[in-house]
Amino acid sequence: MKTKRLLIVVTMLCLLQSTKTFAQTDTLCGYQTAYNWLVQQDSSYLNFEIQHVENIKRYRNWKALNAAVQLPPITGSGYATSAIGCPKAKFIVPVAVHIIHDPTDTSLGSGTNISDAQVENQIEELNKYFAGQSGGVNTGIQFCLTYKDINGNTQKRITRRGDNLTTNHLPSEIDDVMALDKLDQTRYLNIWVVKTILTDGGQDIGVRGYSTMPGRIDVDGIVVRYNSFGNYNNCSGCNLASPSRGNTLAHEVGHYLGIWHTFQDSCAGNDTSDCALKGDRCCDTPPMLQNSGCNYSSNTCHNESPDEDDPIENFMSYSSESCKTSFTQDQADIMHTTLYTHRSSLVQPSWLAQVSSCCNITATFEATALQRCSGDTSAVYFSSIASSGRSYQWFMYRNDTLIDSSGVSGNAVYAWHPSQNGMYTIALRVIDGSDTISEVRSNYVQRLDCGTPLASPYGNWYFGQYCELNFKQGGSVISGSCCTTLFWGIY
Protein backbone atom coordinates (compact mmCIF):
# COMPACT_ATOMS: atom_id res chain seq x y z
CA MET A 1 0.00 0.00 0.00
CA LYS A 2 1.35 3.32 -0.89
CA THR A 3 -0.16 6.18 0.99
CA LYS A 4 0.83 9.74 0.59
CA ARG A 5 -0.11 12.08 3.35
CA LEU A 6 -0.59 15.62 2.35
CA LEU A 7 -0.34 18.39 4.82
CA ILE A 8 -1.61 21.55 3.33
CA VAL A 9 -0.24 24.43 5.26
CA VAL A 10 -3.10 26.81 5.43
CA THR A 11 -2.01 30.33 5.14
CA MET A 12 -3.02 33.64 6.53
CA LEU A 13 -5.23 36.28 5.09
CA CYS A 14 -3.78 38.77 2.74
CA LEU A 15 -5.21 42.19 3.15
CA LEU A 16 -3.41 44.36 0.69
CA GLN A 17 -3.97 47.53 2.56
CA SER A 18 -1.63 49.76 4.37
CA THR A 19 -1.50 50.01 8.10
CA LYS A 20 -4.49 51.94 9.29
CA THR A 21 -4.53 54.88 11.56
CA PHE A 22 -7.27 54.09 14.02
CA ALA A 23 -9.70 56.76 14.96
CA GLN A 24 -11.11 56.71 18.43
CA THR A 25 -14.43 54.91 18.39
CA ASP A 26 -16.06 52.66 20.91
CA THR A 27 -15.71 49.50 18.83
CA LEU A 28 -12.08 49.41 17.85
CA CYS A 29 -10.73 46.19 16.41
CA GLY A 30 -7.05 45.30 16.41
CA TYR A 31 -7.40 42.77 13.65
CA GLN A 32 -5.10 44.75 11.35
CA THR A 33 -2.44 44.85 14.06
CA ALA A 34 -2.62 41.10 14.50
CA TYR A 35 -2.53 40.65 10.76
CA ASN A 36 0.52 42.86 10.34
CA TRP A 37 2.38 40.94 13.00
CA LEU A 38 1.45 37.54 11.58
CA VAL A 39 2.56 38.55 8.08
CA GLN A 40 5.80 39.83 9.53
CA GLN A 41 6.37 36.40 11.08
CA ASP A 42 5.54 34.46 7.93
CA SER A 43 4.80 36.09 4.61
CA SER A 44 3.18 32.90 3.30
CA TYR A 45 0.04 34.13 5.05
CA LEU A 46 -0.36 36.30 2.03
CA ASN A 47 -1.40 33.22 0.09
CA PHE A 48 -4.41 32.68 2.25
CA GLU A 49 -6.56 35.34 0.68
CA ILE A 50 -6.07 33.87 -2.78
CA GLN A 51 -7.16 30.46 -1.54
CA HIS A 52 -9.99 31.87 0.54
CA VAL A 53 -11.44 33.99 -2.26
CA GLU A 54 -11.33 31.01 -4.62
CA ASN A 55 -13.12 28.91 -2.01
CA ILE A 56 -15.80 31.57 -1.62
CA LYS A 57 -16.41 31.53 -5.36
CA ARG A 58 -16.70 27.73 -5.36
CA TYR A 59 -18.96 27.71 -2.36
CA ARG A 60 -21.37 30.16 -3.98
CA ASN A 61 -21.63 27.90 -7.01
CA TRP A 62 -21.98 24.83 -4.82
CA LYS A 63 -24.67 26.46 -2.72
CA ALA A 64 -26.68 27.16 -5.88
CA LEU A 65 -26.39 23.49 -6.88
CA ASN A 66 -27.44 22.38 -3.41
CA ALA A 67 -30.42 24.73 -3.36
CA ALA A 68 -31.69 23.19 -6.60
CA VAL A 69 -32.08 19.80 -4.90
CA GLN A 70 -35.60 19.44 -3.54
CA LEU A 71 -35.94 16.68 -0.98
CA PRO A 72 -39.11 14.56 -1.17
CA PRO A 73 -41.78 15.47 1.39
CA ILE A 74 -41.71 13.73 4.74
CA THR A 75 -44.10 10.83 4.99
CA GLY A 76 -45.58 9.79 8.31
CA SER A 77 -46.17 11.84 11.39
CA GLY A 78 -45.83 11.82 15.14
CA TYR A 79 -42.08 11.99 15.26
CA ALA A 80 -40.53 12.13 18.67
CA THR A 81 -39.14 15.38 20.00
CA SER A 82 -35.85 15.19 21.82
CA ALA A 83 -35.58 18.71 23.14
CA ILE A 84 -38.31 21.23 22.47
CA GLY A 85 -36.97 24.61 21.59
CA CYS A 86 -33.49 23.58 20.52
CA PRO A 87 -32.38 26.11 17.91
CA LYS A 88 -31.61 24.84 14.44
CA ALA A 89 -28.03 25.45 13.42
CA LYS A 90 -26.13 24.47 10.34
CA PHE A 91 -22.88 24.51 12.29
CA ILE A 92 -22.01 24.25 15.97
CA VAL A 93 -18.59 25.55 16.95
CA PRO A 94 -17.04 24.45 20.27
CA VAL A 95 -15.62 27.38 22.21
CA ALA A 96 -13.05 27.65 25.00
CA VAL A 97 -12.63 30.86 27.01
CA HIS A 98 -9.36 31.65 28.79
CA ILE A 99 -9.46 34.48 31.29
CA ILE A 100 -6.03 36.07 31.61
CA HIS A 101 -6.55 38.35 34.55
CA ASP A 102 -4.52 40.82 36.51
CA PRO A 103 -2.54 38.81 39.12
CA THR A 104 -3.94 41.10 41.82
CA ASP A 105 -7.55 40.19 40.91
CA THR A 106 -7.38 36.99 42.87
CA SER A 107 -11.05 36.55 43.75
CA LEU A 108 -13.33 35.18 41.10
CA GLY A 109 -15.57 37.88 39.66
CA SER A 110 -13.39 40.80 40.75
CA GLY A 111 -11.96 43.23 38.18
CA THR A 112 -10.42 41.46 35.22
CA ASN A 113 -11.11 38.04 36.75
CA ILE A 114 -14.62 38.04 35.31
CA SER A 115 -17.26 35.63 36.50
CA ASP A 116 -18.50 32.51 34.76
CA ALA A 117 -21.85 34.29 34.51
CA GLN A 118 -20.27 37.06 32.44
CA VAL A 119 -18.68 34.50 30.12
CA GLU A 120 -22.01 32.72 29.73
CA ASN A 121 -23.76 36.02 29.07
CA GLN A 122 -21.28 36.77 26.29
CA ILE A 123 -21.73 33.39 24.61
CA GLU A 124 -25.53 33.72 24.85
CA GLU A 125 -25.33 37.18 23.26
CA LEU A 126 -23.03 35.81 20.57
CA ASN A 127 -25.52 33.08 19.77
CA LYS A 128 -28.38 35.57 19.60
CA TYR A 129 -26.43 37.76 17.20
CA PHE A 130 -25.48 34.84 14.99
CA ALA A 131 -29.08 33.61 15.04
CA GLY A 132 -30.26 36.98 13.71
CA GLN A 133 -32.25 37.78 16.83
CA SER A 134 -31.09 41.39 16.88
CA GLY A 135 -31.48 41.86 13.11
CA GLY A 136 -30.10 40.62 9.81
CA VAL A 137 -29.95 36.96 8.83
CA ASN A 138 -29.76 33.83 10.89
CA THR A 139 -26.24 32.74 9.98
CA GLY A 140 -26.94 29.15 11.00
CA ILE A 141 -23.85 29.18 13.20
CA GLN A 142 -23.96 28.65 16.95
CA PHE A 143 -21.28 28.39 19.62
CA CYS A 144 -21.05 25.88 22.42
CA LEU A 145 -19.17 26.47 25.66
CA THR A 146 -20.31 23.32 27.47
CA TYR A 147 -19.62 19.61 27.46
CA LYS A 148 -20.54 16.58 29.56
CA ASP A 149 -17.84 15.15 31.78
CA ILE A 150 -17.44 11.41 32.37
CA ASN A 151 -20.03 11.57 35.15
CA GLY A 152 -22.56 13.17 32.85
CA ASN A 153 -22.31 16.58 34.48
CA THR A 154 -22.31 19.70 32.35
CA GLN A 155 -19.05 21.62 32.47
CA LYS A 156 -17.90 24.87 30.92
CA ARG A 157 -14.66 25.28 29.01
CA ILE A 158 -13.34 28.23 31.02
CA THR A 159 -9.79 28.59 32.34
CA ARG A 160 -8.30 31.30 34.55
CA ARG A 161 -4.79 32.56 35.03
CA GLY A 162 -3.23 35.62 36.59
CA ASP A 163 -0.53 37.00 34.28
CA ASN A 164 0.95 40.41 33.56
CA LEU A 165 0.42 39.90 29.82
CA THR A 166 -3.18 40.79 30.49
CA THR A 167 -2.15 44.45 30.54
CA ASN A 168 -0.99 46.26 27.42
CA HIS A 169 0.32 43.33 25.49
CA LEU A 170 2.13 44.28 22.31
CA PRO A 171 1.45 42.84 18.86
CA SER A 172 4.75 40.99 19.21
CA GLU A 173 3.28 39.22 22.24
CA ILE A 174 0.18 37.84 20.54
CA ASP A 175 1.68 34.37 20.43
CA ASP A 176 2.70 34.62 24.10
CA VAL A 177 -0.86 35.47 25.12
CA MET A 178 -2.29 32.69 23.00
CA ALA A 179 0.19 30.21 24.46
CA LEU A 180 -0.77 30.84 28.09
CA ASP A 181 -3.75 28.52 28.05
CA LYS A 182 -5.29 26.93 25.02
CA LEU A 183 -7.11 23.94 23.65
CA ASP A 184 -6.28 22.46 20.25
CA GLN A 185 -6.92 25.38 17.90
CA THR A 186 -7.97 23.09 15.06
CA ARG A 187 -10.75 21.76 17.32
CA TYR A 188 -11.90 24.74 19.38
CA LEU A 189 -12.44 28.43 18.89
CA ASN A 190 -10.13 29.74 21.62
CA ILE A 191 -10.93 33.13 23.15
CA TRP A 192 -8.61 34.95 25.55
CA VAL A 193 -10.02 37.67 27.78
CA VAL A 194 -7.50 40.34 28.80
CA LYS A 195 -7.34 43.75 30.46
CA THR A 196 -5.95 45.96 27.68
CA ILE A 197 -4.62 45.62 24.13
CA LEU A 198 -2.06 47.84 22.40
CA THR A 199 -1.85 48.78 18.74
CA ASP A 200 1.06 48.62 16.29
CA GLY A 201 2.55 51.77 17.76
CA GLY A 202 2.38 50.45 21.31
CA GLN A 203 -0.46 52.76 22.31
CA ASP A 204 -3.62 51.98 24.22
CA ILE A 205 -6.32 53.70 22.20
CA GLY A 206 -9.11 51.51 23.47
CA VAL A 207 -8.83 48.47 21.19
CA ARG A 208 -11.62 46.11 22.24
CA GLY A 209 -10.43 42.95 20.60
CA TYR A 210 -8.68 41.30 17.71
CA SER A 211 -8.83 38.06 15.81
CA THR A 212 -6.80 35.95 13.44
CA MET A 213 -8.28 35.00 10.11
CA PRO A 214 -8.00 31.27 9.38
CA GLY A 215 -4.55 30.31 8.21
CA ARG A 216 -2.43 29.60 11.25
CA ILE A 217 -2.73 26.62 13.54
CA ASP A 218 -0.45 27.63 16.38
CA VAL A 219 -1.35 31.32 16.68
CA ASP A 220 -5.07 31.31 16.15
CA GLY A 221 -8.09 32.65 17.95
CA ILE A 222 -9.62 35.79 19.41
CA VAL A 223 -8.59 38.21 22.16
CA VAL A 224 -11.18 40.49 23.78
CA ARG A 225 -10.96 43.10 26.50
CA TYR A 226 -12.66 41.95 29.70
CA ASN A 227 -15.00 44.92 30.02
CA SER A 228 -16.25 44.45 26.46
CA PHE A 229 -16.96 40.76 26.98
CA GLY A 230 -20.72 40.61 27.57
CA ASN A 231 -23.81 42.77 27.29
CA TYR A 232 -23.92 45.60 29.82
CA ASN A 233 -27.71 45.79 29.51
CA ASN A 234 -28.50 42.30 30.71
CA CYS A 235 -25.56 41.15 32.78
CA SER A 236 -26.01 42.45 36.29
CA GLY A 237 -22.94 42.24 38.48
CA CYS A 238 -20.70 41.88 35.45
CA ASN A 239 -17.57 43.94 34.98
CA LEU A 240 -18.56 45.70 31.78
CA ALA A 241 -18.17 49.15 30.28
CA SER A 242 -21.51 50.78 29.59
CA PRO A 243 -21.14 50.81 25.77
CA SER A 244 -20.59 47.07 25.64
CA ARG A 245 -23.33 45.06 23.95
CA GLY A 246 -21.17 41.99 23.58
CA ASN A 247 -20.86 42.51 19.86
CA THR A 248 -17.10 43.02 19.90
CA LEU A 249 -16.95 39.24 20.00
CA ALA A 250 -19.47 38.94 17.15
CA HIS A 251 -17.23 41.20 15.07
CA GLU A 252 -14.08 39.24 15.91
CA VAL A 253 -15.74 35.89 15.28
CA GLY A 254 -16.68 37.31 11.88
CA HIS A 255 -12.98 37.78 11.11
CA TYR A 256 -12.17 34.37 12.59
CA LEU A 257 -14.67 32.85 10.15
CA GLY A 258 -13.19 34.70 7.19
CA ILE A 259 -15.16 37.92 6.67
CA TRP A 260 -13.76 41.39 6.28
CA HIS A 261 -14.69 44.84 7.50
CA THR A 262 -17.53 46.46 5.57
CA PHE A 263 -15.07 49.24 4.75
CA GLN A 264 -12.45 46.86 3.38
CA ASP A 265 -10.57 48.60 0.53
CA SER A 266 -12.74 51.68 1.06
CA CYS A 267 -15.31 52.14 -1.73
CA ALA A 268 -14.16 49.14 -3.81
CA GLY A 269 -16.71 46.59 -5.00
CA ASN A 270 -19.39 49.03 -5.93
CA ASP A 271 -21.58 47.34 -8.52
CA THR A 272 -22.96 43.92 -9.39
CA SER A 273 -19.99 43.11 -11.62
CA ASP A 274 -17.39 43.32 -8.87
CA CYS A 275 -19.09 43.45 -5.47
CA ALA A 276 -18.48 39.71 -4.95
CA LEU A 277 -14.82 40.07 -5.83
CA LYS A 278 -13.69 43.31 -4.22
CA GLY A 279 -13.94 45.10 -0.91
CA ASP A 280 -15.56 42.77 1.61
CA ARG A 281 -16.71 40.44 -1.22
CA CYS A 282 -20.32 40.91 -0.20
CA CYS A 283 -22.92 42.38 -2.56
CA ASP A 284 -25.41 42.96 0.22
CA THR A 285 -23.17 45.35 2.19
CA PRO A 286 -22.93 48.68 0.34
CA PRO A 287 -19.39 50.06 0.20
CA MET A 288 -18.43 52.50 2.91
CA LEU A 289 -15.44 54.23 4.43
CA GLN A 290 -14.19 53.42 7.89
CA ASN A 291 -16.71 54.88 10.28
CA SER A 292 -17.43 55.57 13.89
CA GLY A 293 -20.46 56.59 15.91
CA CYS A 294 -24.02 55.85 14.92
CA ASN A 295 -25.11 57.99 12.02
CA TYR A 296 -27.89 56.14 10.20
CA SER A 297 -27.92 58.56 7.28
CA SER A 298 -24.20 58.25 6.65
CA ASN A 299 -23.31 57.65 3.00
CA THR A 300 -19.58 57.83 2.40
CA CYS A 301 -19.33 56.03 -0.98
CA HIS A 302 -21.35 57.26 -3.94
CA ASN A 303 -19.95 55.23 -6.79
CA GLU A 304 -22.26 52.25 -6.38
CA SER A 305 -25.55 51.97 -8.23
CA PRO A 306 -28.01 52.50 -6.74
CA ASP A 307 -26.28 54.71 -4.20
CA GLU A 308 -27.08 53.32 -0.76
CA ASP A 309 -26.44 54.43 2.80
CA ASP A 310 -23.55 52.90 4.71
CA PRO A 311 -24.32 49.59 6.40
CA ILE A 312 -23.59 50.96 9.84
CA GLU A 313 -25.85 48.36 11.45
CA ASN A 314 -23.46 45.64 10.33
CA PHE A 315 -21.31 43.88 12.92
CA MET A 316 -18.28 44.27 10.66
CA SER A 317 -18.46 48.07 10.59
CA TYR A 318 -16.84 50.34 13.17
CA SER A 319 -20.13 51.78 14.37
CA SER A 320 -20.90 52.23 18.04
CA GLU A 321 -21.88 49.00 19.73
CA SER A 322 -25.42 50.18 20.32
CA CYS A 323 -26.19 50.31 16.60
CA LYS A 324 -24.40 47.20 15.37
CA THR A 325 -27.01 44.48 15.08
CA SER A 326 -26.65 42.27 12.02
CA PHE A 327 -24.84 40.07 9.57
CA THR A 328 -25.94 39.66 5.95
CA GLN A 329 -26.50 36.53 3.87
CA ASP A 330 -23.34 37.07 1.84
CA GLN A 331 -21.34 37.32 5.05
CA ALA A 332 -23.00 34.14 6.34
CA ASP A 333 -22.06 32.38 3.10
CA ILE A 334 -18.41 33.34 3.49
CA MET A 335 -18.44 32.08 7.06
CA HIS A 336 -19.96 28.80 5.84
CA THR A 337 -17.20 28.57 3.23
CA THR A 338 -14.61 28.79 6.00
CA LEU A 339 -16.39 26.12 8.04
CA TYR A 340 -16.45 23.79 5.03
CA THR A 341 -12.76 24.37 4.30
CA HIS A 342 -10.12 25.88 6.56
CA ARG A 343 -12.04 25.40 9.76
CA SER A 344 -13.91 22.20 8.94
CA SER A 345 -12.15 20.32 11.73
CA LEU A 346 -14.07 22.42 14.28
CA VAL A 347 -17.49 21.19 13.21
CA GLN A 348 -17.12 17.53 12.31
CA PRO A 349 -20.02 15.52 13.76
CA SER A 350 -17.81 12.83 15.29
CA TRP A 351 -15.89 15.55 17.07
CA LEU A 352 -18.94 17.49 18.23
CA ALA A 353 -20.52 14.32 19.57
CA GLN A 354 -17.62 14.17 22.03
CA VAL A 355 -17.39 17.77 23.09
CA SER A 356 -20.74 19.52 22.73
CA SER A 357 -23.61 19.40 25.18
CA CYS A 358 -25.52 22.34 23.73
CA CYS A 359 -29.10 22.10 22.59
CA ASN A 360 -29.00 22.43 18.82
CA ILE A 361 -30.49 20.59 15.89
CA THR A 362 -27.99 20.21 13.09
CA ALA A 363 -27.81 18.11 9.93
CA THR A 364 -24.08 18.34 9.47
CA PHE A 365 -22.68 15.00 8.42
CA GLU A 366 -19.44 13.30 7.42
CA ALA A 367 -18.48 10.29 5.33
CA THR A 368 -15.83 7.62 5.71
CA ALA A 369 -14.79 8.14 2.09
CA LEU A 370 -15.43 10.68 -0.64
CA GLN A 371 -14.30 8.39 -3.44
CA ARG A 372 -14.84 4.74 -4.17
CA CYS A 373 -13.05 2.62 -6.75
CA SER A 374 -15.48 0.70 -8.94
CA GLY A 375 -14.17 -2.66 -7.71
CA ASP A 376 -14.67 -1.78 -4.08
CA THR A 377 -18.08 -2.94 -2.86
CA SER A 378 -17.62 -2.01 0.77
CA ALA A 379 -20.00 0.55 2.20
CA VAL A 380 -19.42 4.23 2.68
CA TYR A 381 -20.68 5.27 6.12
CA PHE A 382 -22.41 8.61 6.42
CA SER A 383 -22.92 9.89 9.92
CA SER A 384 -24.43 12.86 11.66
CA ILE A 385 -24.66 13.72 15.36
CA ALA A 386 -26.81 11.09 17.03
CA SER A 387 -29.50 12.33 19.39
CA SER A 388 -32.23 10.27 20.97
CA GLY A 389 -35.70 11.30 19.88
CA ARG A 390 -34.56 12.64 16.55
CA SER A 391 -35.15 10.93 13.24
CA TYR A 392 -32.83 10.81 10.26
CA GLN A 393 -33.44 10.22 6.56
CA TRP A 394 -30.71 9.99 3.94
CA PHE A 395 -31.05 10.69 0.21
CA MET A 396 -28.70 9.73 -2.62
CA TYR A 397 -28.87 11.41 -6.04
CA ARG A 398 -27.03 10.71 -9.27
CA ASN A 399 -27.39 13.02 -12.27
CA ASP A 400 -30.04 15.00 -10.40
CA THR A 401 -32.17 11.88 -9.95
CA LEU A 402 -33.02 10.39 -6.60
CA ILE A 403 -31.71 6.84 -6.81
CA ASP A 404 -31.81 5.71 -3.22
CA SER A 405 -32.88 6.78 0.24
CA SER A 406 -33.03 5.36 3.70
CA GLY A 407 -36.27 5.12 5.57
CA VAL A 408 -36.96 7.52 8.41
CA SER A 409 -35.25 6.03 11.44
CA GLY A 410 -33.48 6.94 14.62
CA ASN A 411 -30.16 6.01 13.12
CA ALA A 412 -27.75 8.88 12.52
CA VAL A 413 -25.43 6.55 10.58
CA TYR A 414 -26.22 5.16 7.15
CA ALA A 415 -24.16 2.58 5.26
CA TRP A 416 -24.39 2.77 1.49
CA HIS A 417 -22.23 2.22 -1.56
CA PRO A 418 -22.46 3.72 -5.03
CA SER A 419 -23.25 1.09 -7.68
CA GLN A 420 -22.29 3.03 -10.78
CA ASN A 421 -19.45 5.34 -11.69
CA GLY A 422 -20.16 9.04 -11.39
CA MET A 423 -20.75 11.81 -8.93
CA TYR A 424 -23.34 11.49 -6.17
CA THR A 425 -25.20 14.13 -4.27
CA ILE A 426 -25.91 13.19 -0.66
CA ALA A 427 -28.54 14.78 1.55
CA LEU A 428 -29.68 14.34 5.12
CA ARG A 429 -32.90 15.47 6.76
CA VAL A 430 -33.10 15.50 10.55
CA ILE A 431 -36.56 15.50 12.10
CA ASP A 432 -37.14 16.64 15.67
CA GLY A 433 -40.85 16.64 16.38
CA SER A 434 -42.33 19.03 13.85
CA ASP A 435 -39.01 20.73 13.27
CA THR A 436 -36.65 19.74 10.48
CA ILE A 437 -33.29 20.75 9.14
CA SER A 438 -31.55 19.37 6.10
CA GLU A 439 -28.14 19.44 4.52
CA VAL A 440 -27.48 18.84 0.81
CA ARG A 441 -24.01 18.24 -0.59
CA SER A 442 -23.87 18.18 -4.36
CA ASN A 443 -21.26 15.98 -6.02
CA TYR A 444 -20.04 14.87 -2.64
CA VAL A 445 -19.10 11.26 -3.36
CA GLN A 446 -17.52 9.89 -6.51
CA ARG A 447 -17.26 6.33 -7.83
CA LEU A 448 -14.60 5.83 -10.49
CA ASP A 449 -12.37 3.29 -12.22
CA CYS A 450 -9.14 3.53 -10.34
CA GLY A 451 -7.09 1.69 -12.94
CA THR A 452 -7.32 4.56 -15.38
CA PRO A 453 -5.86 8.02 -15.07
CA LEU A 454 -8.02 10.55 -13.30
CA ALA A 455 -10.24 12.53 -15.60
CA SER A 456 -9.11 16.11 -15.92
CA PRO A 457 -12.38 17.74 -14.73
CA TYR A 458 -11.64 16.23 -11.34
CA GLY A 459 -8.04 17.37 -11.23
CA ASN A 460 -8.65 20.60 -9.40
CA TRP A 461 -9.26 19.44 -5.88
CA TYR A 462 -8.99 21.37 -2.70
CA PHE A 463 -7.51 19.50 0.25
CA GLY A 464 -8.06 20.42 3.86
CA GLN A 465 -5.66 19.72 6.64
CA TYR A 466 -4.06 16.29 6.90
CA CYS A 467 -5.93 14.73 4.01
CA GLU A 468 -4.72 11.56 2.47
CA LEU A 469 -4.36 10.15 -1.01
CA ASN A 470 -4.53 6.36 -1.12
CA PHE A 471 -3.01 4.66 -4.16
CA LYS A 472 -3.64 1.02 -3.24
CA GLN A 473 -6.23 0.54 -5.98
CA GLY A 474 -3.92 1.88 -8.66
CA GLY A 475 -5.40 5.36 -8.68
CA SER A 476 -5.51 8.15 -6.16
CA VAL A 477 -8.39 8.01 -3.69
CA ILE A 478 -9.01 10.48 -0.91
CA SER A 479 -9.33 8.97 2.52
CA GLY A 480 -8.79 9.92 6.10
CA SER A 481 -11.39 11.20 8.53
CA CYS A 482 -10.20 14.76 8.32
CA CYS A 483 -11.32 14.98 4.73
CA THR A 484 -14.94 14.32 5.36
CA THR A 485 -16.35 17.79 5.55
CA LEU A 486 -14.48 19.41 2.72
CA PHE A 487 -16.18 20.12 -0.54
CA TRP A 488 -14.85 19.72 -4.02
CA GLY A 489 -13.50 22.05 -6.62
CA ILE A 490 -15.28 20.71 -9.67
CA TYR A 491 -18.14 23.14 -10.05
- Judged by the rule CB under 5 A, the positions of this chain that interact with Zn ion are 29, 31
Minimum distance from residue 32 beta carbon to Zn ion (Å): 8
Q: What is the DSSP letter of 180?
A: H
What one-character-per-residue DSSP string does 419-449 give? -SSEEEEEEEEEEETTEEEEEEEEEEEEEE-
Helix, strand, or coil here: 4? strand
Beta carbons within 10 angstroms of residue 375's beta carbon: 10
Distance CA 152, CA 163 (A): 32
The smaller minimum CB distance to Zn ion, of residues 29 and 385, is found at 29
The smaller minimum CB distance to Zn ion, of residues 315 and 394, is found at 315
The smaller minimum CB distance to Zn ion, of residues 29 and 253, is found at 29
Peptide bond into 306 cis (omega under 30): yes
Minimum distance from residue 14 beta carbon to Zn ion (Å): 16
Between CA 459 and CA 463, with CA 462 as vertex, the angle to 5 degrees is: 115
Which residues does 144 contact at the CB level (< 8 Å), separation at least 6?
A: 92, 93, 94, 95, 352, 355, 356, 357, 358, 360
The smaller minimum CB distance to Zn ion, of residues 13 and 469, is found at 13
Minimum distance from residue 44 beta carbon to Zn ion (Å): 22
Helix, strand, or coil here: 173? helix
Minimum distance from residue 133 beta carbon to Zn ion (Å): 22
The answer to whether 262 touches 281, Cβ cutoff 8 Å, is no
Minimum distance from residue 223 beta carbon to Zn ion (Å): 12
The smaller minimum CB distance to Zn ion, of residues 15 and 93, is found at 15
Minimum distance from residue 261 beta carbon to Zn ion (Å): 5
The smaller minimum CB distance to Zn ion, of residues 213 and 361, is found at 213
Minimum distance from residue 256 beta carbon to Zn ion (Å): 10
79 phi/psi in degrees, rounded to 5: -70, 145
The smaller minimum CB distance to Zn ion, of residues 38 and 367, is found at 38
Q: Where are the beta strands (DSSP E) in 119-200?
A: 141-144, 146-148, 154-156, 158-162, 189-194
The smaller minimum CB distance to Zn ion, of residues 31 and 327, is found at 31
Minimum distance from residue 187 beta carbon to Zn ion (Å): 24
Minimum distance from residue 1 beta carbon to Zn ion (Å): 47
The smaller minimum CB distance to Zn ion, of residues 45 and 463, is found at 45
Minimum distance from residue 249 beta carbon to Zn ion (Å): 11
The answer to whether 198 touches 179, Cβ cutoff 8 Å, is no
The smaller minimum CB distance to Zn ion, of residues 25 and 446, is found at 25
The answer to whether 379 touches 416, Cβ cutoff 8 Å, is yes
- Burial zone of 232 (CB within 10 Å; 0-12 exposed, 13-18 middle, 19+ buried): buried
The smaller minimum CB distance to Zn ion, of residues 314 and 360, is found at 314
The answer to whether 468 touches 3, Cβ cutoff 8 Å, is yes
The smaller minimum CB distance to Zn ion, of residues 29 and 490, is found at 29
* Minimal CB distance residue for Zn ion: 29
Bridge-partner residues for 158, per DSSP?
Answer: 97
Helix, strand, or coil here: 146? strand
Minimum distance from residue 33 beta carbon to Zn ion (Å): 10
Minimum distance from residue 137 beta carbon to Zn ion (Å): 19
Q: At what angle do helices 247-256 and 116-130 cross, to 10 degrees?
A: 60
Burial 180-214 (b: 16+ CB within 10 A, else e): ebbbebbbbbbbbbbbbbbbbeeeeebbbbbbbbb
Distance CA 182, CA 191 (A): 9
Cα 275 to the center of its chain, rounded Å: 22
The answer to whether 440 touches 406, Cβ cutoff 8 Å, is no
The answer to whether 392 touches 432, Cβ cutoff 8 Å, is no
The smaller minimum CB distance to Zn ion, of residues 225 and 372, is found at 225
Minimum distance from residue 309 beta carbon to Zn ion (Å): 21
Distance CA 58, CA 65 (A): 11
Beta carbons within 10 angstroms of residue 137's beta carbon: 17
